[in-house]
Amino acid sequence: MAAGGFCKLPNGTVVVALNLPDDAAGVRVLVHAGNRARALTRLRNLGLRPIYLRGNTAPPTPDEITAVLHHPDGLIWRTAPADNGVLPPELWHPIRALLRRSAMVQ
């Protein structure tokens, strides 16, 4: 289970945000899809471990929604915020970069 949340957009689609563990620091993944189930399926189809979204404890911020809507794949990530809520000075990355990084670690 991962902390996260979702936001339903006026056109009926959703943006799902998940904080996933990865090495020392976690990553924040954003997915734009037709519905919550499809967003989670997109992540599972990429080979990420089983992910479940229960509740809406950490929904995407307006800036995060804008970032994922402007990305052609609609699937991006960056290092998760620290415990104090401060975001690292890092740009969003396409999901392919995370998958490559995970493959290199193994």
Domain membership flag for residue 106: no
pLDDT at 83 (0 to 100): 65
Domain membership flag for residue 102: no
pLDDT at 100 (0 to 100): 66
Grade residue 1 by pLDDT with cuts at 50, 70 and 90. Answer: very low
The string of pLDDT tens digits covering residues 53-76 is: 888 888 999 999 999 999 998 999
The tally of domains found in the chain comes to: 1
Domain membership flag for residue 105: no
Extended strands (E) in 1-106: 3-8, 14-20, 27-33, 75-79, 93-94
pLDDT at 8 (0 to 100): 96
The string of pLDDT tens digits covering residues 8-56 is: 999 999 999 998 876 667 888 999 999 999 999 998 888 877 777 888 8
Q: How far apart are CA 62 and CA 7, in angstroms?
A: 10
Amino acid at 18: L
Domain membership flag for residue 103: no
Q: How far apart are CA 27 and CA 18, in angstroms?
A: 8
> Residue 84 pLDDT > 70, yes or no?
no
Look-up of token digits 């804008």: 66
Domain membership flag for residue 37: yes
Per the CB < 8 A criterion, the answer to whether 51 and 20 are in contact is: yes
Residue 105: CB partners within 8 Å, gap ≥ 6? Answer: 23
Domain with 8, as residue range(s), is 3-95
